[in-house]
């Protein structure tokens, strides 16, 4: 058999050591999502190609397409937002709005793989479908804050802005809607090219010198959220849409506070553009600054996309946690479980005759909820069994010899220190749980 | 936008009501798998087509194949066994054997969809790689028993046999290895065509009348496992390989007993053939008989397949839980959680002024681990909020009016009975947890 023994680049195998972290990430997110009353949805990876056509802009060329056995033109999903839009239209009679749904799964993008860029990527999406209330926007921000805290992140801040804020900034600086598009694109690069870079790009794009300076002054506003919003309200007082955006942000942050998000974990950042053109209201992005790891995730309100299939606007706010990004960053920061194995102990088999008693003890401990691996070869020397457990990185090994069995005891060996203790069988489960 | 608003047949959307059951199934399986020390593995859905070629026999035509953006010939995985074989070969330097791994994910088969037959199917695979010990076979059977009990199944039995048993039965009946193949195929249909059908098929295949009767007598043996094995040992005494199989089964069931599996949950069934040609040792199949639901899952030992890529035999025993089958059967039997929503209660908003206090209460209860949905529109009438919670099927609603706030109390309304109680705020979390 001359098969190639290799995964495709950009599509990762996750061995157990990595999976222990990934499962911790997913389980933690699900637990927070469910505390907020979000409900799980699962859709197939394969969709009719038509369903995806014309929904995601320039990246459409990255979609994996093929014909199935029945000659249907099908595609692998690119994200979980378009499938959500299809589901909302297809099952609207069965769904009750507002609908909080989460979805965790793979999407596929035919990109050139590179650092942080994968062809198979897992995302955990949360969206509130069918509400334009600022309480919904606030809830998404509170949820992401709780999620990151639960994952062990400490020094992070969510930057918050609004689509109509940048528009207003462009308009009060004397630009029309067409020119405003160039302003968004230039500001979107602020992190990469700095204020001077944005200035150069705006000037090169034909924006007048004083307009450029007014724009830069507005997007550079920093400080306490209320102060920044008050300042923006004053400077944008001539632009009704921008003022509505400021009021919307004011409402959102008051709800965010009521939901217990500490002041240092959110801020107003008028420069926040967020690339995706489908956002229509609030936009946000969470940045890890301690240690500095850059942007972790983002989201916002998009009131048009979800209603595309249903034929009417359906206001929606949400975000996607990129599991690949969380995985990579948490690995780098050493966050998450440090265990190298699922099993807390190896149940050794002292001798072939002791096999039944040892398997019975393993059964007893498993029934008590402990993760116990058993040695599989009753004829193997005890030393080799202990060596295997140690090489696997298991914290403990259990030994049950004839003498222990006769006295109702078990030897618990700490494989990191080499210490061993003989304990009454009845307390072993509790002892392992405590250790 | 004229997109088709439809999923592809045979690839299901799972709305929250179904997902609550599916997540319960997966979480229950994972918890049992991990108690046995099995470790998670995740591989991509897409593999090089070569990796799948020539591995799965006639069903190869069901594989979804296409070319990716780089012109590579790729395929969607058909099962999780071939990817496991690839992983074992690719990472053999990093893996320590015996290796217990589980994998939960989708596979794809271009079948004609029908009752119980899906094009996207989820499976939960467990395999012990790199051990030929009967303790490993026993552990898989103990694990599947614990898993089904944890899922709420009661009346089920695991039928156990061995590949060399049927071979021995054919040989002592005077047939050569080539004729034995026809015997397996005929016996494999026993459930569908009955003893008379098998008899007719064997006779039509040219097997002599007395050989047919000897075969039928052997495969019809029933009774206590030890008795059946003793009887088989006697009748197959001339065939060394069959006797080794009987001894192997004897060892497996003694370990199965030591691991706490009750006698009524396993039996020796010499007629068990299991279609898959890659089994080399023990084979087993679990049947739900109360109420009669037929076969639920099966597995066995296959010592050749996993080593195909590595170029040497790697003894392996395992099984796959079909999540689709478990889902369909549990739904029919009414097993699993009966909750219709993730949230235990809706936090209503009594009036716009009460929004901050209500959101703060929701935050407090969520921090205590409860799943609370909040009403999103502070201006909506309380009656409509309660109606929404009731239509969603939520068990409770919480009301916090100015009077309750002033007295440090909360109204808890039972939406099924209409009863409502005013409780001290400090006891609400505990009260909801108990209800």
Tell me the per-residue pLDDT of A308-365, one tens digit each, with 9 for 90 and over. 999 999 999 999 999 999 999 999 999 999 888 999 999 999 999 999 999 999 999 9
Task: Evaluate whether B283 touches B300 at the Cβ level (below 8 Å).
Answer: yes
Does the pLDDT of residue A2 top 80, yes or no?
no
Minimal Cα–Cα distance from A240 to chain B, Å? 23
Q: Which residues of B touch A101 (CB under 8 A)?
A: 16
Pick from A256, A234, A85, A232: nearest CA to A164: A232
Question: B6 and A48: CB-CB below 8 Å?
Answer: yes
| Residue to substitute from B4, B5, B98, interface A, most A β-carbons within 10 A | B5
Question: B35 and A89: CB-CB below 8 Å?
Answer: no
Does the pLDDT of residue A1 top 50, yes or no?
no
Nearest CA in chain A to B35: A371
Pairing, β A345-347 against β A372-374? parallel
- pLDDT, position B2: 46
3-class DSSP state of B24: helix
Find the CB nearest B260 among A70, A360, A372: A360
Does the pLDDT of residue A177 top 90, yes or no?
no
| Residue to substitute from A9, A11, A15, interface B, most B β-carbons within 10 A | A15
Strand order in the sheet with A282-290: A39-40, A99-108, A120-129, A316-322, A292-301, A282-290, A155-162, A266-268
Does the pLDDT of residue B287 top 50, yes or no?
yes
Question: B46 and A8: CB-CB below 8 Å?
Answer: yes
| Residue to substitute from A65, A100, A318, A366, interface B, most B β-carbons within 10 A | A366
By the 10 Å C-beta count (0-12 exposed, 13-18 middle, 19+ buried), B232 is classed as buried
Q: Which residues of A touch B117 (CB under 8 A)?
A: none
Question: A7 and B255: CB-CB below 8 Å?
Answer: no
Strand partners, B42: A14
Pick from B174, B162, B178: nearest CA to B279: B162
- pLDDT, position A63: 97
Task: Evaluate whether B319 touches B103 at the Cβ level (below 8 Å).
Answer: no
* DSSP category for residue B137: H
| Residue to substitute from A37, A385, A394, interface B, most B β-carbons within 10 A | A37
Question: A309 and B388: CB-CB below 8 Å?
Answer: no
Nearest CA in chain A to B6: A90
Task: Evaluate whether B87 touches B56 at the Cβ level (below 8 Å).
Answer: no
Question: A342 and B369: CB-CB below 8 Å?
Answer: no
Residue A228 CB coordination number (10 Å): 19
Find the CB nearest B3 among A39, A50, A373: A50
First to last CA, chain B: 48
Q: Which residues of A touch B259 (CB under 8 A)?
A: 359-360, 362-363
Task: Evaluate whether B331 touches B373 at the Cβ level (below 8 Å).
Answer: no
Question: A356 and B106: CB-CB below 8 Å?
Answer: no
Question: B22 and A42: CB-CB below 8 Å?
Answer: yes
Does the pLDDT of residue B407 top 90, yes or no?
yes
Question: B341 and A8: CB-CB below 8 Å?
Answer: no
Question: B16 and A39: CB-CB below 8 Å?
Answer: yes
Give helix B16-35 / helix B323-333 axis angle, nearest 10°: 110
Tell me the per-residue pLDDT of B239-274, one tens digit each, with 9 for 90 and over. 999 999 999 999 999 999 999 999 999 999 998 977
Question: What is the rounded average pLDDT for all residues in chain A?
Answer: 94
Residues with Cβ within 8 Å of B274's Cβ and at least 6 positions away in sequence, in order, are B188, B283, B285, B298, B300
- pLDDT, position A185: 83
Q: What angle do CA A10, A11, A17 make, to 5 degrees?
A: 115
- pLDDT, position B290: 84
Pairing, β A155-162 against β A266-268? parallel
Does the pLDDT of residue A3 top 60, yes or no?
no
Does the pLDDT of residue A401 top 70, yes or no?
yes
What is the phi-psi region of residue B155: left when phi exceeds 0, alpha when psi lies from -120 to 50, beta otherwise? beta
Banded pLDDT at A205 (limits 50, 70, 90): confident
Minimal Cα–Cα distance from A32 to chain B, Å? 8
Pick from A159, A98, A146, A138: nearest CA to A251: A138
Strand partners, A66: A74
Q: Which residues of A touch B6 (CB under 8 A)?
A: 48, 86, 90
Distances, alpha carbon A200 to alpha carbons A178, A204, A274, A400, in Å: 19, 6, 20, 75
| Residue B387 phi, psi dihedral angles, 5° rounding | -60, -45
Find the CB nearest A35 among B87, B341, B370: B370
Task: Tokens for A48, please give them.
Answer: 């009719």
Residue B218 CB coordination number (10 Å): 22
Banded pLDDT at B323 (limits 50, 70, 90): very high
- pLDDT, position B1: 43
Pick from B364, B381, B380: nearest CA to B372: B364
- Domains of chain A, each with CATH number or no CATH: 16-333 (3.30.930.10), 345-434 (3.40.50.800)
HEC assignment per residue over chain A = CCCCCCCCCCCCCECHHHHHHHHHHHHHHHHHHHHCCCEECECCCEEEHHHHCCCCHHHHHHCCEEECCCCCEEEECCCCHHHHHHHHHHCCCCCCCCEEEEEEEEEECCCCCECCECCEEEEEEEEEECCCCHHHHHHHHHHHHHHHHHHCCCEEEEEEEEHHHHHHHHHHCCCCHHHHHHHHHHHHCHHHHHHHHHHHHHHHCCCCHHHHHHHHHHHCCCCCHHHHHHHHHHHCCCCHHHHHHHHHHHHHHHHHHHCCCCHHHEEECCCCCCCCCCCCCEEEEEEEEECEEEEEEEEEECCCHHHCCCCCCCCEEEEEEEHHHHHHHHHHHCCCCCCCCCCCEEECCCCHHHHHHHHHHHHHHHHCCCCEEECCCCCCCHHHHHHHHHHHCCCEEEECCHHHHHHCEEEEEECCCCCEEEEEHHHHHHHHHHC
Question: A95 and B254: CB-CB below 8 Å?
Answer: no
Mean pLDDT, to the nearest integer, of B34-49?
Answer: 98
Q: Which residues of A touch B260 (CB under 8 A)?
A: 360, 363-364, 367
Q: Which residues of A touch B36 (CB under 8 A)?
A: 366, 371-373
Minimal Cα–Cα distance from A366 to chain B, Å? 6
C-alpha B35/C-alpha B30 separation (Å) is: 8
C-alpha A36/C-alpha A143 separation (Å) is: 7
Give helix A163-172 / helix A209-219 axis angle, nearest 10°: 150
Nearest CA in chain A to B50: A3
Does the pLDDT of residue B419 top 70, yes or no?
yes
Q: In this complex, how many residue pairs, one in chain A and one in chain B, have their CB atoms less than 8 Å apart?
A: 294
| Residue to substitute from A44, A94, A371, interface B, most B β-carbons within 10 A | A44
Tell me the per-residue pLDDT of A254-311, one tens digit each, with 9 for 90 and over. 999 999 999 999 999 998 977 657 899 999 999 999 888 889 999 999 999 999 999 9
Find the CB nearest B98 among A133, A135, A376: A376
pTM: 0.94
Find the CB nearest B391 among A96, A341, A364: A96
| Residue A419 phi, psi dihedral angles, 5° rounding | -60, 145
Banded pLDDT at B91 (limits 50, 70, 90): very high
- pLDDT, position A378: 92
Distances, alpha carbon A390 to alpha carbons A373, A387, A431, in Å: 13, 5, 19
Task: Evaluate whether A168 touches A342 at the Cβ level (below 8 Å).
Answer: no
Question: B13 and A146: CB-CB below 8 Å?
Answer: no
Sign of CA dihedral A110, A111, A114, A120: negative
Residues with Cβ within 8 Å of A33's Cβ and at least 6 positions away in sequence, in order, are A102, A124, A126, A143, A147
Nearest CA in chain B to A83: B7
3-class DSSP state of B150: helix
Nearest CA in chain B to A368: B35
C-alpha A269/C-alpha A416 separation (Å) is: 49
Q: Which residues of A touch B378 (CB under 8 A)?
A: 133, 135
Alpha helices in B152-221 (DSSP H): 163-172, 177-188, 190-204, 209-219
Minimal Cα–Cα distance from B258 to chain A, Å? 5
Question: A5 and B68: CB-CB below 8 Å?
Answer: no
């Amino acid at each position: 058999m001359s098969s190639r023994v290799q995964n495709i680049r950009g599509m990762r195998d996750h061995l157990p050591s990595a999976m222990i972290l990934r499962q911790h990430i997913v389980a933690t997110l699900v637990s927070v999502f469910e505390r907020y009353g979000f409900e799980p949805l699962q859709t197939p990876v394969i969709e009719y190609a038509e369903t995806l056509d014309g929904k995601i802009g320039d990246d459409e060329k990255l979609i994996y397409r093929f014909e199935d056995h029945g000659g249907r033109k099908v595609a692998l999903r690119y994200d979980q937002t378009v499938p959500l839009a299809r589901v909302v239209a297809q099952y609207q009679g069965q769904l009750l709005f507002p609908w909080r749904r989460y979805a965790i799964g793979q999407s596929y993008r035919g990109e050139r793989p590179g650092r942080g860029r994968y062809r198979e990527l897992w995302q955990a999406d949360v969206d509130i479908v069918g509400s334009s209330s600022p309480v919904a926007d606030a809830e998404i921000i509170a949820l992401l804050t709780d999620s990151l805290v639960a994952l062990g992140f400490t020094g992070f801040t969510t930057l918050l802005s609004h689509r109509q804020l940048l528009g207003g900034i462009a308009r009060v600086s004397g630009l029309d809607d067409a020119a405003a598009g160039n302003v968004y694109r230039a500001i979107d690069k602020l992190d990469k090219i700095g204020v001077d870079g944005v200035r150069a790009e705006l000037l090169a794009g034909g924006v007048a010198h004083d307009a450029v300076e007014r724009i830069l002054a507005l997007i550079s506003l920093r400080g306490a959220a209320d102060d920044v919003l008050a300042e923006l309200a004053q400077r944008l007082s001539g632009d009704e849409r921008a003022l509505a955006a400021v009021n919307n942000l004011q409402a959102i942050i008051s709800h965010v506070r009521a939901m217990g998000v500490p002041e240092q974990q959110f801020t107003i950042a008028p420069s926040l553009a967020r690339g995706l053109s489908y956002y229509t209201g609030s936009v946000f992005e969470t940045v890890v600054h301690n240690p500095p790891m850059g942007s972790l995730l983002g989201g916002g309100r998009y009131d048009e996309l979800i209603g595309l299939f249903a034929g009417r606007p359906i206001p929606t706010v949400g975000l996607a946690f990129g599991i690949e990004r969380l995985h990579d960053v948490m690995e780098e920061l050493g966050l998450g479980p440090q265990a190298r194995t699922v099993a807390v102990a190896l149940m050794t088999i002292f001798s072939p005759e002791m096999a039944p008693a040892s398997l019975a003890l393993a059964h007893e401990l498993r029934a008590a909820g402990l993760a116990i691996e058993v040695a599989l070869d009753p004829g193997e020397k005890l030393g080799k069994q202990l060596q295997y457990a140690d090489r696997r990185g298991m914290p403990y090994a259990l030994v049950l010899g004839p003498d222990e069995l006769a006295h109702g005891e078990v030897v618990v060996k700490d494989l990191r220190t080499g210490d061993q203790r003989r304990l009454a069988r009845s307390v072993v489960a509790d002892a392992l749980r405590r250790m």
